[in-house]
Amino acid sequence: MTTQLAAAVPALRTEGVIGLIAPAGPAALDVEKAGQWMRARGHELRIFPGVYERDGYLAGSDEVRLRDLHAAFADPEIDAIFCLRGGYGSPRLLDRLDFDLIRANPKPFVGYSDITALHLAINRYAGFVTFHGPMLNADLLGDKQQPTESSLFSMLRGQLSECSALAHPVAYPLTTIEPGVACGRLLGGNLSMIAAVMGTAFEIDAEGIILFIEDVNEPLYRIDRLLTHLRLAGKLAQVAGVLVGDVSGVDKAALERLLKQTFEPLCIPVLSGWRSGHCDPNLTLPLGALVRLDAGEQQLVLEQDVVFKP
């Protein structure tokens, strides 16, 4: 297992300020509804300028989106950073990120899908835990069912600590693809994004990790192709275990056959069906954190604190 662990970040404080940025695609935002939603949960919402912009399939130019991301990390009044949506464009920012600035201002950073590229980069070069979790527009304002919201805020506020098992709703049964127990850093996110940054300075460091994957709108043959890409690149042989999130639009039985074919030769624990990703509910996961995966008992347990109270 890789010994360098991601550091915990400051917990979201009571009445803390949440910064909203759009580092990927654009989306129409009901500003009044968003503000009311946050105030009802005890937080002020500060919307960064790029949220209001649109540049084709991007939420503003690269310069605008990068400026907002840096400004949100640099602002001492911002306690946590939420992303408006995923979509497209996050990888365009990677080689322009100021990791010295980000490293000096650790705080919860939340998003998924295209935001995976930023998670991989921040974890690798800034060295702190980030959160694969719901985004404001589609998930939180979209009224996704519990425990979408409670999973997010319990983690950010420090209600889960070392040795806490992450709860999974019983209404959505998990599937043990391969039993076993493994400990490692939880890394990954959107499978297409993980593959997209392979061969770059931002590719996933897979040594000893618990690999988390999810995806949407990808037929089974493309999921196969993406997993094969990671296998041929030597990444799958390095991982200690695999947690499979939601793979929307793919037949469950066919996906499980593919996962069995892919991972059985590696003799590592594999647990499938975790409700995280493009799904409802959408549970929050701490990327970079040390976890213990027990695929047979269908448990995921924190092996470190992911936030701390200053």
Provide the β-strand partners of residue 181: 294
For 53, list phi and psi in degrees, rounded to 5: -100, 165
37: nearest Cα among 115, 168, 152:
152
92 CB neighbour count, 10 Å cutoff: 16
Rounded Cα distance between 123 and 89, Å, is 19
Query: Of the residues 151, 214, 272, 276, which is catalytic?
Result: 214
- Along the 310 residues of the chain, how does pLDDT read in single tens digits? 344 789 999 999 999 999 999 999 999 999 999 999 999 999 999 999 999 999 999 999 999 999 999 999 999 999 999 999 999 999 999 999 999 999 999 999 999 999 999 999 999 999 999 999 999 999 999 999 999 999 999 999 999 999 999 999 999 999 999 999 999 999 999 999 999 999 999 999 999 999 999 999 999 999 999 999 999 999 999 999 999 999 999 999 999 999 999 999 999 999 999 999 999 999 999 999 999 999 999 999 999 999 999 8
> How much is the pLDDT for 3?
46
Looking at residue 291, its amino acid is V
What do you get for the CA distance between the two ends of the chain, in Å? 29
Apex 242 CA angle, 121 and 209, nearest 5: 45
Has 151 been annotated as catalytic? no
Please give the distance of CA 79 from its chain centroid, rounded to a whole number: 18
5: nearest Cα among 182, 158, 185, 188:
185
Query: Tokens representing 102?
Result: 């980000």
Query: Tokens representing 286?
Result: 């701490």
Query: Of the residues 90, 113, 192, 276, which is catalytic?
Result: 113
> How much is the pLDDT for 2?
40
Query: How does DSSP assign 72-101, residue by residue?
Result: HHH-TT--EEEES--SS-GGGGGGG--HHH
173 CB neighbour count, 10 Å cutoff: 9
Global pTM reads 0.97
> How much is the pLDDT for 272?
98
Has 113 been annotated as catalytic? yes
Has 214 been annotated as catalytic? yes
Looking at residue 66, its amino acid is L
Rounded Cα distance between 32 and 40, Å, is 12
Query: How does DSSP assign 30-56, residue by residue?
Result: -HHHHHHHHHHTT-EEEE-GGGG--BT
Helix then strand count (H, E) for the chain reads 8, 15
> How much is the pLDDT for 4?
72
Rounded Cα distance between 261 and 147, Å, is 32
274: nearest Cα among 177, 156, 193:
177
> How much is the pLDDT for 286?
98
